[in-house]
Homo-oligomer: A and B are copies of this chain.
Amino acid sequence: MTELAAAKAALKTQAVETPSWAYGNSGTRFKVFAQQGVPRTPFEKLDDAAKVHEFTGVAPTVALHIPWDKVDDYAALAKHAEQRGVKLGAINSNTFQDDDYKLGSICHPEASVRRKAVDHLLECVDIMDATGSADLKLWFADGTNYPGQDDIRGRQDRLAEGLAEVYERLGDGQRMLLEYKFFEPAFYTTDVPDWGTAYAHCLKLGPKAQVVVDTGHHAPGTNIEFIVATLLREGKLGGFDFNSRFYADDDLMVGAADPFQLFRIMYEVVRGGGFSPEVAFMLDQCHNIEAKIPAIIRSVMNVQEATAKALLVDGDALRAAQRAGDVLEANAVVMDAYNTDVRPLLREVREEMGLDPEPLAAYRRSGWGEKIVAERVGGQQAGWGA
């Protein structure tokens, strides 16, 4: 098989999970701008996600967020998904929107609040059992705003204790994916602020605990591909939350702010054997001002383009230049792949998959956007609050 053929084969197996909440309204602390046609229920979110998969062919699963996507009958939800051609993916917990969580959840100074938070996480595992989801994705808003507010180390102890209880509850084939974040909504300390902290906890928990890299959750200037390479080397990379940022956790469309960085990340994924089912590729974005479904289709395509370029890096030439200490040539090999316009290749891949080569145009022609605006009238639009 030629390199190009191998790249195409790999691209056809790619899977990018889309998050249910990205189909709902989102915004900043200043304003949430509602959009027409936004889903009112988890079922409608799945309908939208199915459209993304229908036109891209590489978005077969949908992440749920509890309680935003809480339903009485998860089997019915799973069946609804399957009927539309997608499956339920990771279960995302939420321990930041209850009034009790003002000073934290799993790290809260009061045992009763910690109990409530852990119970929620255990409930999420119950839901995984019901949905067949393999991954419990944990992000904690826990932290403090002021020096002295709480005991930094004590909070780590509480975190470790809570995670251990949840870890014990995991069944076969279930994993815990622990996400770190530099800051926000806490503004002084964050209890899992960097990959090192997430890694240290996962290491103690055991093999079912893995680290999630959200590409918007780092200090300015952080070399994310280094972290990816390191976590893969340690066998602790569980997945990605993709998005892009110019400043903080901006949650823009992945690839929109620094497409070269996304390419470098995907190159380390490929190089480190991370292009595999063990590493989950998920989007986690906020489409505050742009149309949501087209933005998600564009994001999936951006991941594809970065992946295609990463797959095209001439490994033999690169290793030869690296061994020779030829800085410019090694860099040139990488840049040659990056500078390639891979859109024709991806059009071919789509056609071979029986898809329209232009997902966005095909989606627009489908009339889905107009249909949901017309039909989804009344009710409560989904958003971060519901």
Name A's B-contacting residues (CB within 8 A). 26-31, 33-34, 96-97, 99, 101-103, 109-110, 141, 145-154, 156-157, 182-185, 187-190, 193-197, 199-200, 203, 218-223, 225-227, 229-230, 232-234, 245-248, 250, 252-253, 256-261, 264, 268, 271-272, 288-291, 294-295, 298, 305, 318-319, 321-323, 325, 327-328, 330-335, 338-341, 343, 384
**Residues of B with C-beta under 8 A to A190:** 223, 226
Complex Cα distance A294/B330, Å?
A: 13
Known: A147-B264, A248-B247, A325-B109. A225 touches B341 (CB 8 A): no
B246 touches A150 (CB 8 A): no
- Determine the residue in chain B with the shortest Cβ distance to A260: B259
- Determine the residue in chain B with the shortest Cβ distance to A288: B145
In the complex, besides A147-B256, A200-B234, 10 extra interface pairs with C-beta distance below 8 angstroms are A29-B185, A110-B325, A147-B331, A148-B335, A156-B233, A182-B247, A219-B219, A219-B222, A290-B327, A298-B328
Known: A28-B29, A109-B323, A260-B259. A221 touches B147 (CB 8 A): no
A141 touches B225 (CB 8 A): no
**Residues of B with C-beta under 8 A to A253:** 146
Partner of A193, one of B151, B223, B319: B223
Partner of A29, one of B29, B219, B272: B29
Complex Cα distance A120/B183, Å?
A: 35
A99 touches B34 (CB 8 A): yes
Complex Cα distance A99/B289, Å?
A: 11
A247 touches B145 (CB 8 A): no
A221 touches B246 (CB 8 A): yes
**Residues of B with C-beta under 8 A to A298:** 328, 332
Known: A221-B219, A246-B221, A290-B327. A187 touches B252 (CB 8 A): yes
Complex Cα distance A236/B223, Å?
A: 24
Complex Cα distance A109/B323, Å?
A: 6
Q: How far is the CB of A371 from chain B (nearest CB, A)?
A: 19
Pairs across A and B, CB under 8 Å, 14 listed = A28-B184, A29-B384, A33-B99, A146-B331, A148-B332, A149-B322, A149-B331, A151-B322, A153-B230, A153-B232, A156-B233, A187-B246, A193-B223, A247-B248
**Residues of B with C-beta under 8 A to A341:** 339-341
B291 touches A328 (CB 8 A): yes
Q: How far is the CB of A204 from chain B (nearest CB, A)?
A: 10
Partner of A185, one of B31, B220, B227: B31
Question: 10 closest Cβ contacts across the A-B interface?
Answer: A196-B196, A148-B334, A219-B219, A28-B185, A187-B250, A220-B220, A341-B341, A146-B331, A152-B229, A290-B327
Partner of A230, one of B96, B197, B220, B247: B197
Q: How far is the CB of A261 from chain B (nearest CB, A)?
A: 8
A223 touches B288 (CB 8 A): no
Q: How far is the CB of A289 from chain B (nearest CB, A)?
A: 5
Q: How far is the CB of A340 from chain B (nearest CB, A)?
A: 6
- Determine the residue in chain B with the shortest Cβ distance to A113: B325
Interface centre among A148, A182, A260, A331 (most CB of B within 10 A): A148
A246 touches B223 (CB 8 A): yes
Known: A103-B325, A199-B196, A200-B234. A150 touches B221 (CB 8 A): no
Q: How far is the CB of A194 from chain B (nearest CB, A)?
A: 6
- Determine the residue in chain B with the shortest Cβ distance to A99: B33
Interface centre among A152, A256, A264, A291 (most CB of B within 10 A): A152
Complex Cα distance A27/B153, Å?
A: 26
Partner of A150, one of B185, B194, B295, B322: B322
